[in-house]
Amino acid sequence: MSTGRSATRMGPAELVQAAAMARRFYLEGKSKIQIAEEFGVSRFKVARVLETALERDLVRIEIRVPAELDAERSDALRARYGLRHAVVVESPADAEADTPDPENLGEVAADLLGELVTEGDVLGLAWGRSTIHMAAALHRLPPCTVVQLTGVYDAGTAERGSVEAVRRAAAVSGGEAHPIYAPMLLPDTATADALRGQTGIARAFEYFDKVTVACVSIGSWEAGISTVYDMLTEKERAHYESLGAAAEMSAHLFDAEGRRIGRDLGERCITVEADRLRRIPEVVAIAGGRRKAEAIGAVLRSGLVTSLVTDTAAADYLLAETTPAAHPALDRADPDGA
C-alpha cells in the first residue's frame, strides 16, 4: 500500500480495515464502489487495500488477522459509532472482570500511532495510564513534534508519567518534545491562568492548534479510574455527581449522553480545550475493560473522539447499547486525503 508508511508491516487499523473491506468484497459480493461509499474513501483506495490484502497473505479462504485483534468486533464498533478506526483487542484471559485498561491496549495503540502519524505531524499526548503504557511500547514513529496536552497528575511523579511519555515519543520519532511541568488541577482559575502564561507552558499551548493526531485516555467517574475524580475534594465530587458526571477525558466531564458538564472545572485545569480537541483531525482514545465501558460510550457520544482502541469486554457492552452516537470522523477531513 503506497501510503508513505512502512512497506514491511501493516498497522492494526490497516489490518482491521483490510479485513473488513476484503470481507465485503470476497464474501459479501459488494462492489468496490459500494465499499468506497461505506468507508468514505475513494474506490482507488479500496482497490489498493484489496491488493495489499492479497499480497500480505491476509486473504485466503478466510479473513485472517493476528489472534489478539478481533476484526469483526472492530468493524462493527467502527460502523456503529461512526469512527474512523476502531481496534478491538482480546481481553486477557487472566484479567479480572472489572480491570480497566489492560496493558496490551497500549501495545496495540503504539502500533496504531506508528501507522497514523506521518512525517511532519504534531502528536499530542494527554495524561493517562493507558497513554503512558502506549508511549513505553512505541518502537516506530515518523519524525514529528510531540506536545503534552495536559498537566500532570502529581508534579512529583512527572518524570515517570506524562512528561516521560512525551519525551519517549519524541525520542522514538527524533522530533522535538514540548512537555508541561505543571499540575493538571489547580486550586482556582487565577492560579491556572498564571501558570498558562509561563514561558514553557505557553510554548506548549501554542502547539495545540497545530496538533494533527492526539492520544487521550478516558476515565469513569469513580475513585481510581478517573485522575480528576481522585484529585477533587468530597464536596467537589458530590457537586459534579449532582450534574450527572459519568465520564472524564483530559479534565473534561461528560454526562451519560455525552454532553459536557462542569465547564468551570476546565478553567482550573492545565489542559487542551474541548473545542481545540474537536478541531484535531485524528483523536485516538485508549480505554478498555467493562468497568470503563459506560464512560467510553459517553465520550464517544460527545463527538470528540475519532478513533478508539479498546478490548472485547468494553466492545461487547458498547455494541449492545441502544443510544445512537455522534459520528465524529464524518465531520473531519481524512488525514490521508482519501
Summarize pLDDT for 71-88 with one digit per residue, the tens. 899 999 999 999 999 999
Per-residue buried b or exposed e for 234-262, using 16+ beta carbons within 10 Å of the residue's own CB? eeebeebeeebbbbbbbbbbbbbebeebb
- For residue 163, give every residue at least 6 positions away whose Cβ sits within 8 Å of its Cβ, in sequence order, or none: 148, 152, 179, 180, 181
Identify the structural domains of the chain with CATH numbers, from first to last. Answer: 10-54 (1.10.10), 67-318 (3.40.50.1360)
- The Cα–Cα gap between 141 and 79 comes to 28
| Per-residue pLDDT, 7 | 52
Q: Which helix (H) or strand (E) holds 179?
A: none
| Per-residue pLDDT, 5 | 42
| Per-residue pLDDT, 67 | 55
Region 248-269 average pLDDT: 92
- The Cα–Cα gap between 21 and 36 comes to 9
| Per-residue pLDDT, 65 | 58
Q: Where are the alpha helices (DSSP H) in 174-226?
A: 189-196, 199-206
| Per-residue pLDDT, 1 | 36
- The Cα–Cα gap between 181 and 195 comes to 10
Contact 123, 281 (CB under 8 A): no
pLDDT band at 332, cuts 50/70/90? Answer: low
The set of cell numbers assigned to 221 is: 467517574
Q: Is the pLDDT of residue 2 over 50?
A: no
- The Cα–Cα gap between 276 and 261 comes to 17
| Residue 173 identity | S
DSSP three-state, residue 306: coil
Q: What is the mean pLDDT of the chain?
A: 86
The set of cell numbers assigned to 93 is: 484471559
Q: Give the strands of the sheet with 307-311, arranged side by side.
A: 85-89, 307-311, 282-286, 213-217, 122-125, 145-148, 177-178
Q: Pairing between strand 247-249 and 219-220?
A: antiparallel
Share of the chain above pLDDT 70, in %: 86
Q: Which is more confident, 65 or 125? A: 125
pLDDT band at 317, cuts 50/70/90? Answer: very high
Task: Note the maximum CA span of the chain.
Answer: 63
Region 202-230 average pLDDT: 91
Question: Which segment of 50-64, 78-92, 246-260 scores lowest on mean pLDDT?
Answer: 50-64
DSSP three-state, residue 8: coil
Per-residue buried b or exposed e for 76-85, using 16+ beta carbons within 10 Å of the residue's own CB? bbbebbbbbb
Quick: pLDDT tens for 267-308.
Answer: 999 999 999 999 999 999 999 999 999 999 999 999 999 999
